[in-house]
Amino acid sequence: MTRLLNDPNDFVADMSRGFALASSRWVRAVTGGVVRSTAASEPTVSLVIGGGSGHFPAFSGLVGPGLAHGTAMGNVFASPSTKQILSVARSCDQGRGVLFSYGNYAGDVLNFDQAQERLRAEGIETRTVVVTDDIFSASRDEIDKRRGIAGDLVVFKIAGAAAEAGLELDEVERLARSANDRTRSIGVAFSGCTLPGADEPLFTVPDGQMAIGLGIHGEPGIDEVPLPSAIQLAELLVSRLLIEAPDSSRRVVPILNGLGTVKYEELYLLYGLIDPLLRDAGYELVDPEVGEFCTSFDMAGLSLTLLWLDDELEPLWATPCSSAAFTRGELGGAHLPATNGGPVSAEEQERAAASVSAAPPTRGVDKQVDTPASAASRQLGAEISSLITQIAVVLDDAAGELGRLDSVAGDGDHGIGMQRGSKAAARAAADATTAGHGAEVVLAEAGEAWADVGGGTSGAIWGRIIGTLAAGFAGDSRPEPAAISAAINAAVDEVRTFGGVEVGDKTLLDALVPFATEFSRTVSSTGDGSTGEDSTGDDSTPLVLARAATGAAHAAAQAAQSTADLVAMRGRARSHGDRSVGTPDPGAVSLAMIASAIAEHFTPDTTSPNSRHTKRKAARS
């Protein structure tokens, strides 16, 4: 487990500060990650990589000449946010295009894809190559759904060498795809890893057993077998990978990767058994690598990667490179202080490193800042801010349980991500309220903050949900219940499109759709409050919202519990199939918790002399 920390929430910021200071020969800190501290003599395509922290040397340790130009550093086991990726990419861009490359995980895909769209809109040509080397995470028929593990190194090295050679973006992309297509990996674990500040590991392996097919984020393996001897393990790894040989090439690069606490002596012992097995199978081994290239904190485990070479890839694999964690050969050509910032002092490095994951989110709706909000909109914005604060309290209390649910078939970080995202959203909403903004701006800034700090899939999704809802609160007056219902339904459509999910996939959508459906049904059947009066002459809007929110929350809670019967079809839990059956989806459960907090907020306490409903009745009498 991680023993050296101050506040677990500051772990990545503190680590990033130290890394930038210690590795200034190769990198300098920018908001969202690190970029090269040197530049080649001529502009090249820029390779931007990234992912969650906790995998060093992936991803920050692979930035330098001949490798990546920059990396976006997410929180522990969580993808970087779109804002972080954009910051790093803009800092790296040299005018010849940007290639994104990262492991094939839902949160990374969502956030990098958003960043790619934004960069293209700005006129920066951007491409993406996702790494899909893990043979156990999907079948050969669905190879595009496989996740990336230690094969990241192969793709980054080939793409970095191609960029260093001055090739155009089309060629750098093509060669990176070829490297990915010709790379396969398999991982095993003997014990789980523990997140900073956590008391228990994300998963455990029974004594005397070994997990096969684990993920680098702590996803449990797909099978457990009796602990093998070293030679038995070598035979297992080699035989499983050779079945996956992409073609008849007989020249391979073997990469034996330690995942955290398997020591180098053990890795070398194992490699000494792997090497002859590959040679006996008729392979010629090229530049083997043994060490730590993609870890998982303190996981006791390892992985074997094979790259099947061809005439294009072999010279690129052999090309010299230099970074904080992976260096080979002597670099030719000039590598000068970077023109996009140059050498910086230790004090400047420290300030920049502190901003990697701790920077407060910037305003996401600047175009509206100079437009004064009406008194009604400001009041509504303050109420929304109060509601988001209540939601943050609920999710803070539930973080442990949500993490437990997520650890059954996922990586166990859903609770932490929701906790961080909602707290950041509450702070942003409060700041917007203090600045005198109305409801739309309060929601928009809350959504951007949630996406930026929450990270991962849930951060990106909730950023989109809240951002979509914001459009329903534009204008100077309070929206009618029907308008709120329309905004909720728009958020449903956004999640479907953005997340690429449908009801039944065992995701947040399984609870969001019943919530939206019941909210709309109640508004329609009760009357949307647009007349401002009900049959008794009272302002009916609060009561309509209370009924709609209460019914919708009940529907969401029932739907969330029903996801226990489903098999996960999306996200990290997908590769574990039936393992998720019997446990409700943590994303659906957290949505139901948020729905309950909303219902509680909207439900008027008619017995209280201070309630809005009671005050209105008293005023009219």
Does residue 295 have a pLDDT over 70?
yes
Residues 386, 387, 389: CA angle, nearest 5 degrees:
65
Q: Is 483 a member of any domain?
A: yes
346 within a domain of the structure (yes/no): no
Whether residues 387 and 283 fall in one domain: no
Written as one letter, the residue type at 541 is T
Give residue 355's identity as a one-letter amino acid code: S
Tell me, what's the pLDDT at 77?
87
Tell which wins on pLDDT, 619 or 247.
247
Whole-angstrom CA distances from 255 to 139, 183, 208, 487, 519 are: 22, 10, 26, 50, 54
Look up the CATH number of the domain holding residue 449. 1.25.40.340
Lookup result for tokens 């970080």: 413
Catalytic residues: 217
Pairing mode of beta strands 335-337, 223-226: unpaired
Q: Which residues, 6 or more positions from 462, have their beta carbon under 8 angstroms from its beta carbon? A: 418, 421, 425, 447, 450, 451, 454
Q: What is the pLDDT of residue 535?
A: 38
Predicted confidence band of residue 40 (pLDDT cuts 50, 70, 90): confident
pTM of the model: 0.83
Per-position b or e across 355-367, b if 16+ CB within 10 A of its CB:
bbbbbebebbbee
At 409 the pLDDT is: 67
Query: For residue range 149-176, what is the model confidence (pLDDT) as tens digits?
Result: 999 999 999 999 999 999 999 999 999 9
Burial of 460: CB neighbours in 10 Å, binned 0-12, 13-18, 19+? buried
Q: Say whether both 109 and 13 belong to one domain.
A: yes
| Residues 434, 531 within the same domain | yes
What are phi and psi for residue 243, nearest 5 degrees?
Answer: -60, -30
- Structural contact between residues 225 and 333, judged by C-beta atoms closer than 8 angstroms: no
Judge whether 60 lies within some domain.
Answer: yes
CB count within 10 Å of CB 395 equals 24
What 8-state DSSP symbol labels residue 368?
G
User: Is the residue at 476 inside a domain?
Assistant: yes
Q: Is residue 101 part of a domain?
A: yes
pLDDT score recorded for residue 340: 45
Let me know if residue 360 belongs to a domain.
no
Cα–Cα distance between 65 and 54 in angstroms, integer? 23
Q: What is the pLDDT of residue 371?
A: 66
Region for residue 529 given its phi and psi (left: phi exceeds 0; alpha: psi -120 to 50; beta: otherwise) = left
Distance CA 545, CA 481 (A): 6
* Percentage of residues in the chain having pLDDT higher than 70: 85
Give SS3 for 239. Answer: helix
CA distance 593 to 596: 5
CATH number of the structural domain spanning residue 189: 3.40.50.10440
Q: Identify the residue with better confidence: 216 or 321.
A: 321
Domain total of the chain = 2
331 within domain boundaries:
no
- Alpha-carbon distance of 99 to 97, in angstroms, equals 7
| pLDDT attached to residue 338 | 59
Enclosing domain of residue 43: 8-321
Exposed, middle or buried, 346 (CB in 10 Å: 0-12/13-18/19+)? exposed
Is pLDDT of 430 > 70?
Answer: yes
Average pLDDT of the chain, as a whole number: 87
Distance CA(167)–CA(487), nearest Å, equals 47
Asked whether residue 394 falls in the same domain as residue 304, the answer is: no
